[in-house]
Amino acid sequence: MDALRAVCARHLIGESRRSAANRAMTSVKTTASGARAPSAAVRDIIAALDAITIDDLKLGARTSTRNGGGGGGARLAPPYAADDAVQYVRIHACEDYTIGAFVFGKRGEIPLHNHPGMTVCSRVIYGEARVTAYDFVDGEPKLSVEDAKLGRCVPQRARLVCDEIVRGGEGSATRVLYPESGGNVHRLLAVTACAVLDVQAPPYAVGRGRDCHYFELVDDDSSGDDVPEEGDESSKEREAWLRETLPPLDFSIDRIYPVE
């Protein structure tokens, strides 16, 4: 974990104050073959994330506080989260980036949501999760939580980037989503108890264009309920219509902080 902290500090200090075009996480180079290569920051963060193990998270030495409220809580123990719970273990937080792990019980879910103007490097550390991700076809639409509250949002056309079961453990790959590509709108559903480690840069910032927005699937052209395995290309190129909405009333995330 120290290596990941050091890499992020080296590359990402000042990330929130850079222009979108000059952010270390979003800059890419075009290779001779025409492929887009990730930035040095992304490559180094991927390498650091790929080396993380479940022991590095030290989940048994954390304390839970419901929805970020005050006060302490009980230490966590395996399997670390109740069956339908999602808990967020904060490892580092500053205005430029965050490092944290989402810990899911075996039925935990984070509904469809986005990361506006953000780049996220993400890896399943243990367990299995179903990842369903989309990008908007016509660029990021104008979004409004107020319109969502009033039911005034219209469906937006999106392209399915992936819908597959991702397995954690040794050899599991880090995924990267960018502001307008890579599956910026995604849903995470635990298949077994699992944990997903994220580096987000710059982090969410309410009122500064980086609010979290939630979506519902209005329609898609899928023909069945089978979920492809990781790496299966058959689910790609499907299109769907997504509409901004409010998160489910029963959705919440426990905030987990280090035991002092």
pLDDT of 237 higher than 70 = no
Provide the phi-psi class of 232: left if phi over 0, else alpha when psi is between -120 and 50, else beta: beta
Using CA atoms, how far apart are residues 220 and 225, in angstroms rounded to an integer?
12
* Contact (Cβ atoms closer than 8 angstroms) between residue 80 and residue 103: yes
Q: 202: cis peptide before it, omega within 30°? A: yes
Stretch 197-218: mean pLDDT: 93
pLDDT at 25: 86
- Enter the tokens of residue 73: 């809580």
Q: What percentage of the chain reaches a pLDDT higher than 70?
A: 79
Res 204 pLDDT > 70: yes
Confidence of residue 221 (pLDDT cuts 50, 70, 90): low
Query: How far is Cα 77 from Cα 62, in angstroms, rounded to an integer?
Result: 9
Per-residue pLDDT at 83: 78
> What pLDDT does 224 receive?
47
The count of other CB atoms within 10 Å of the CB of residue 230 is 14
Q: Which two tokens stand for residue 190?
A: 């635990």
CA 203/CA 192 separation, integer angstroms:
27
What pLDDT does residue 232 have? 56
Lowest mean pLDDT among 14-23, 74-83, 222-231: 222-231
Q: Give the closest residue to 188 by CA, choosing from 199, 180, 196.
A: 196
CATH of 2-258, one of 2.60.120.10, 2.40.50.140, 2.40.37.10, 3.40.630.10: 2.60.120.10
The pLDDT of 93-99, averaged and rounded, is 95
Asked whether residue 222 carries a pLDDT value surpassing 70, the answer given is no
CA-closest candidate to residue 191, choices 172, 161, 167: 167
pLDDT digits (tens, 9 = 90+) for 33-59: 555 678 899 999 999 999 999 888 877
Question: Which range is least confidently modeled, 16-20, 45-49, 90-94?
Answer: 16-20
pLDDT for 55:
87
Could you tell me the pLDDT band of residue 243, with boundaries at 50, 70 and 90? very high
What is the reported pTM?
A: 0.84
pLDDT recorded at residue 37: 76
pLDDT value, residue 154: 92
Task: Sketch the domain layout of the chain as residue ranges.
Answer: 2-258
Q: What is the model's pLDDT at position 155?
A: 93
Q: What is the pLDDT of residue 60?
A: 61
- pLDDT tens digits for range 150-174: 889 999 999 999 999 999 988 899 9
pLDDT per residue as tens digits for the range 119-136: 999 999 999 999 999 999
